[in-house]
Structure 1
Amino acid sequence: MRILIALAAALMVTGATTAQAAAPAALAAPNINVANVQAHLNQFQSIANANGGNRAHGRPGYLASINWVKSKLDAAGFTTRVQSFTYNGATGYNLIADYPGGDLNNVVMLGGHLDSVTAGPGINDNGTGSASILEVALQMKATNFQPTKHVRFGWWGAEELGLRGSTFYVNSLSTTERSRIKSYLNFDMTGSPNPGYFVYSASGQPSGSLALQQSLQAGFQSKGVATELTSVGGRSDHAAFARSGIPVGGTFTGAEGIKTSAQAQKWGGTAGQAYDRCYHRSCDTTSNVNATALDRNADVIAYSLWATAA
């Protein structure tokens, strides 16, 4: 995640709204095996270790990450393409993956940035979101999910340098192509070691974002996890989509912000410490991930996708 997201007022999910109750609960989203997500994180760590310790824009570890994710999706029958762009004199890459079938005029899109900062391997930021949506994509194939809407995934480059990859992608779309994307869900830092459970607030976002917020809240509620809303503004890859009027949502477990006593009572963890003390540091390795938060967020990603795309 590029910079700290400001936290909004707490919202504890204590009961389903009409919209929450009506949509996702009846849909049989799979339970995502966190061990599979962790295996993807181990691969990102290995790639960083073999390429100077990071997976940053313009560095070999980033392209190796793109190629590895692409190989997994190609084997699962996705239609993939790598989109290149230039920033700061270096070539960056986005990976776009389309799941077969569904209404091409009604696209549900999920994404997260794949790049790290130069200081470290970026396993929580944002290997976690990248690995989670990868596993959810693979489970679409494994469970033979046949949504009525078309599902597309994006892994973005150069987020850490100002949302460059996602902005390039949205700007590359024609007006007609943009109009076909009916929702975008963003997952950036989903396994912070001292986690919070934050859902992007629909306040100030395009019309239609509230349904995405409520779907994500309902996903956590189904697991007995209270959430708080966070005001994300323009600080992660959803921003380019929101600027084009596309409804957006997402989840987040916290960066260098400090967990409060009330949050520690609600979620566990340590009050007075950062959600992620290794944010943008060399210690953001596979040891810097809370498996419970990673598991819960991956399940909620699947829950919301199955509800939104069915």
Structure 2
Amino acid sequence: MAPRIKLAAGVSVVMLLTGGSIVGAAPAPTAAPTLAAAPDIPVANVKAHLAQLQSIATANGGNRAHGRTGYKASLDYVKAKLDAAGFTTTIQQFTSSSRTGYNLIADWPGGDTNKVVLSGSHLDSVTAGAGINDNGSGSAAILETALAVSRTNYQPTKHLRFAWWGAEELGMVGSRYYVNSLTTANRQKISGYLNFDMIGSPNPGYYVYDDDPAIEKTFKDYYAGIGVPTEIETEGDGRSDHAPFKSAGVPVGGLFSGADYIKTSAQATKWGGTAGLAFDRCYHASCDTTANINDTALDRNSDAIAYAVWSLSQ
């Protein structure tokens, strides 16, 4: 037996059967769009990339510096991974200090190319060492984030681009060359540039750039969600690859885990240790190897990168 239908006053069976509307009835609620959640970035995968960069440095005079064979081998390693994952890669060549340098740009097919979310890290080291924290850490983390985009077949609303810059250690030469090569129209298409330089420091702080408010909030929301306090990064302006983008009017943001020293007792209380303790005693030194990485910082910051890339591109 069919269930009885109790009709509201004034509602006819014909209206129900024909799909007629009821005057004055509330419209059916519209479901909010479901946003794609960022995947966890396996820190083991990020560390595997760091091990490869260490091996490259060891096989090429102990470094991956601009104009040296270790840099080009590092770029070839990253490019091969991205090509296999379905990215469209471009190598941009420039000259600095009478040596040839290279930027690597990787675009994920799809998304609105008038709204580009660009994530970047410098791939070069200083000549003194392998540069695993500075800046293999940022380079490996955005590489693994890009590979996660491919693994999940992520299809964002905005267009995703990743970049590995050359000759940062000589004064942001590669990133400045890239920004200067863009037309005004193409610079305006970059809705945000995210920079990651030294994100695995052995005695880490969790620093968030205080530039673009929306990007800053995205990172701070992530860390608040996992109960990790953050500091505002105000000392890095002009010291890393976000500077040329900021100067060109592009919204910028990023993460940093410390290169210098704990300067105050308040910082010492927050991060542990005592005032005067180095965040990274191997900064720009030969001991910046795979042993010079804090796994927890690398893991948290890699996940924060993915969270920002997914959040800002939808």
Tell me the TM-score range normalised by the shorter chain: 0.7 to 0.9
Distance 1:80 1:240, change over 3 A: same
Distance 1:260 1:27, change over 3 A: farther
Could you say what the CA RMSD is over the residues aligned between the two structures, in angstroms?
Answer: 1.4
Matches within 5 A, 1:48-197: 48-197=57-206
Structure 1: stretches of 5+ with no match in the other structure: 1-24, 203-208
By how many angstroms is 1:261 displaced? 3.9
Higher RCO (C-alpha 8 Å, min separation 6)? 1
- Secondary structure (helix, strand or coil) at the match of 2:267 reads helix
Q: Partners in 1 of 2:274 and 2:52 — Cα distance?
A: 29
- Contact 2:121–2:196 (CA under 8 A) maintained in structure 1: yes
By how many angstroms is 1:145 displaced? 1.1
- Secondary structure (helix, strand or coil) at the match of 2:118 reads strand
1:10-62 CA distance string (max 9 Å, x none) = xxxxxxxxxxxxxxx96511111100000000000000000000000000000
By how many angstroms is 1:220 displaced? 1.1
Matches within 5 A, 1:1-310: 27-202=36-211, 209-231=212-234, 232-258=236-262, 260-268=264-272, 271-310=275-314
For residue 228 of structure 1, what is the amino acid of its counterpart? E
Q: Partners in 2 of 1:211 and 1:119 — Cα distance?
A: 37
By how many angstroms is 1:258 displaced? 2.5
TM score, norm. by length of structure 2: 0.87
- Contact 2:262–2:274 (CA under 8 A) maintained in structure 1: no
Q: Partners in 1 of 2:255 and 2:273 — Cα distance?
A: 18
- Identity across matched positions, percent: 65
For residue 207 of structure 2, what is the amino acid of its counterpart? F
- Contact 1:102–1:146 (CA under 8 A) maintained in structure 2: yes
Q: Partners in 1 of 2:286 and 2:273 — Cα distance?
A: 22
By how many angstroms is 1:133 displaced? 0.3
By how many angstroms is 1:228 displaced? 0.6
Q: Which has the larger radius of gyration?
A: 2
By how many angstroms is 1:280 displaced? 0.2
By how many angstroms is 1:259 displaced? 5.6
For residue 180 of structure 1, what is the amino acid of its counterpart? K
Q: 1:8 maps to which residue?
A: none
Q: Partners in 1 of 2:264 and 2:201 — Cα distance?
A: 15
By how many angstroms is 1:270 displaced? 5.6
- Secondary structure (helix, strand or coil) at the match of 1:45 reads helix
- Contact 2:64–2:71 (CA under 8 A) maintained in structure 1: yes
- Contact 1:58–1:92 (CA under 8 A) maintained in structure 2: yes
Q: Partners in 1 of 2:66 and 2:223 — Cα distance?
A: 33
Q: Partners in 2 of 1:107 and 1:155 — Cα distance?
A: 16
- Secondary structure (helix, strand or coil) at the match of 2:134 reads helix
- Contact 1:133–1:301 (CA under 8 A) maintained in structure 2: yes
For residue 73 of structure 1, what is the amino acid of its counterpart? L
By how many angstroms is 1:177 displaced? 1.1
Q: Partners in 2 of 1:161 and 1:142 — Cα distance?
A: 35
Aligned length: 280
